[in-house]
Amino acid sequence: MEQPSKPIFYIATATSLVVIGDTLLYTILPSYYSRMGLAPYQVGLLLSVNRWVRLTTNHLSVYSYRRYPSELWLLGSFFFGAVVSAIYGTVNVFIVLLAARILWGLCYSFIRQAGIMTAVNAGDPIHLGKRMGFYRGVSSLWQGLGVFLGGLSHDAFGFSVTLVAISIFSLSAIPLGDLSQKGLKQVSPSPLGFQLGGGDFGITLCGFSLGVVGSGLIMSTLGLVIKERIGESFYIFGYAIGVVTLTATILSSRWVIDAIFSPILGTAADSVGRERSIIFLFALGGLVMFSTTLSAGPIWLVFVVLLCFICGGTLYMLLSGRAGRHGIRSLASFVTAYDLGSSLGPSIGWSITQFGLPSHFIFVTAGTFYLLGAIASYGSLHKGRATL
């Protein structure tokens, strides 16, 4: 059996180091923004503009890597990604912070493209699921640990010291990134498959559905749904658990789930068939989310969300690996569709609330998008196209 290679470990570690600053911003800024002199609408723009800009920069990274092949694109992105974290901690001017978030969106497009393609090119296609699982698992492990320590540092030393320290620490991603590309062979793209109606429409539709549900709709409305279902707090073994604590615990469990289950599920998908696994996970996630209309209990709600995390994380690594196998243009199309979905997801979820609909409509909508992904992926398998 193929063993996970050092290039994947290096690139996954390097990526997680640089992403910590961005993730901490989502964690800290909502409760800290007033001290920085920011208005609520400015916070919303800062936390979303990096995703919107990637709709363009994902394809810019493809052009740059293909037109001017060089490792400097990746290493430069690591450097400027570290600089951006320092800007977060030292500047309170909105327009400068906005420019930094746009720069981060650009950097992340290059980093993500290189990270996935490193996992794709680090071995044979047979064990692609295992490599993608290892890549995602290592990234999630370091990122989760980094965010936890960053949160402790923020409470102990403050916002500025924490972000500047993370910026300096993130510079270690540069030598790790350089090591990850040494001796790496480029794998020729496989014949384009997994189609629905031609082109890359099938995988694009899957990426969009996945982005709407996981990174957008569920993540942005979970606190609201929990509060509606259980109120401000509930009791476990006689201890009161606040809704904010419960929400934060569930959201942070996403990294733990990815770190533990990604390598296992990636290897399992290699054995049973990656394309069949995609169909099954979309269908399972969709049906389970529809089940929230039948049970409103907090335990079942937590179970549904955690299962959604497992399905979503596994689907992302399998679909991104498949896209990478067909070349960087296919990968750019997938991640751009995913970014578009994750950008629109919060608006869809909060629009449901705005119109006064019950919270289970959020899960019904999410389940509908997942079933749409199942149909798109089943269409390609039914036609007998090339598998992952």
Mean pLDDT by 10 residues, the chain (388 residues): 74 93 81 83 86 92 87 95 94 94 96 92 86 91 83 83 93 94 64 42 87 83 76 67 70 83 91 90 93 77 88 92 85 90 85 81 92 85 48
Tell which CATH classification among 3.40.190.10, 3.40.250.10, 3.40.50.1970, 1.20.1250.20 matches the domain 201-382.
Answer: 1.20.1250.20
According to the model, what pLDDT value does residue 135 have? 92
- Residue 388 DSSP symbol: -
According to the model, what pLDDT value does residue 196 have? 36
Q: Report which of 57, 56, 46 is spatially closest to residue 95, judged by C-alpha positions.
A: 46
According to the model, what pLDDT value does residue 195 have? 40
According to the model, what pLDDT value does residue 243 have? 65
| Angle made by CA atoms 373, 253, 86, in degrees to the nearest 5 | 100
Q: Report which of 57, 54, 29 is spatially closest to residue 44, judged by C-alpha positions.
A: 29
Contacts of 63 (CB under 8 A, 6+ apart): none
> Do 217 and 361 form a contact (C-beta atoms < 8 A)?
no
Q: Report which of 258, 236, 257 is spatially closest to residue 246, judged by C-alpha positions.
A: 236
- Residue 234 DSSP symbol: E
Tokens of 355: 């119109």
* Residue type for position 192: L
> Do 26 and 81 form a contact (C-beta atoms < 8 A)?
no
Question: In the chain, where does the domain assigned CATH 1.20.1250.20 lie?
Answer: 6-180, 201-382
According to the model, what pLDDT value does residue 14 have? 95
**pTM, 2 dp:** 0.84
First to last CA, the chain: 19
According to the model, what pLDDT value does residue 382 have? 55
> Do 317 and 136 form a contact (C-beta atoms < 8 A)?
yes
Map residue 233 onto helix, strand or coil.
strand
According to the model, what pLDDT value does residue 380 have? 63
CATH no., domain 6-180: 1.20.1250.20
> Helix, strand, coil shares of the chain as percentages rounded to 5?
80, 0, 15
According to the model, what pLDDT value does residue 381 have? 58
Q: What are phi and psi of 98, to 5 degrees?
A: -65, -45
The burial class, CB within 10 Å (0-12 / 13-18 / 19+), for 198 is exposed
- Residue 91 DSSP symbol: -
According to the model, what pLDDT value does residue 387 have? 42
According to the model, what pLDDT value does residue 10 have? 94
